[in-house]
Amino acid sequence: MDTKPARPRRERPKPVKLTDAAAARLQEIMADAEGKYLGVRVGVTNGGCAGMSYTMAYAEDTKPHEEVMEDRGVKIFIDPKAILFLIGTELDFVQEKFGARFVFNNPNQTAACGCGESVSITPAAAQ
């Protein structure tokens, strides 16, 4: 009989991380939603002059095979087709003189168009 202690399970790295500013803003948004949504859904879609665009929307439900994670009290839902494009991404919220916006700081991004609406992304290598 083997009496070795069980190895503690290593927590899986989060594919997307929030900055303090992004977490605070998303918590405000979710509080204003008064429980109508489960969290925020992030992903990528084909389009724009650089090839892809980031997406963000309220998550009303969990879709099949979707990655669901929590960071700093915010639930994030990620489409399984987008996961390899988003691994290692930091989601930030920046306030500027004439507005505020969420920014995807993605190490897999290889280029962006001049208007900032679309990007080129190489999928992360399988670990």
Q: What is the secondary structure of 43-111 as a DSSP string? A: EEEE-STTSEEEEEEEE-SPPTT-EEEEETTEEEEE-TTTHHHHTTEEEEEEEETTEEEEEEE-TTEEE
Domain annotation for the chain: domains and CATH numbers: 16-121 (2.60.300.12)
Question: What would you report as the CA-atom Rg of the chain, rounded to the nearest whole angstrom?
Answer: 17
Residue scoring higher pLDDT (29 or 116): 29
pLDDT above 90: percentage of residues in the chain = 60
Closest among 52, 57, 64 to 26, alpha carbons compared: 57
Residue 127 has what pLDDT? 45
Q: What is the pTM of this model?
A: 0.80
Instruction: Indicate whether 126 pLDDT > 70.
Output: no
Pairwise CA distance, residues 89 & 20, whole Å: 14
Instruction: Indicate whether 21 pLDDT > 70.
Output: yes
Residue 116 has what pLDDT? 61
* 114 contact partners, CB below 8 Å, separation of at least 6: none
Per-residue pLDDT tens over the stretch 87-114: 999 999 999 999 999 999 999 888 877 6
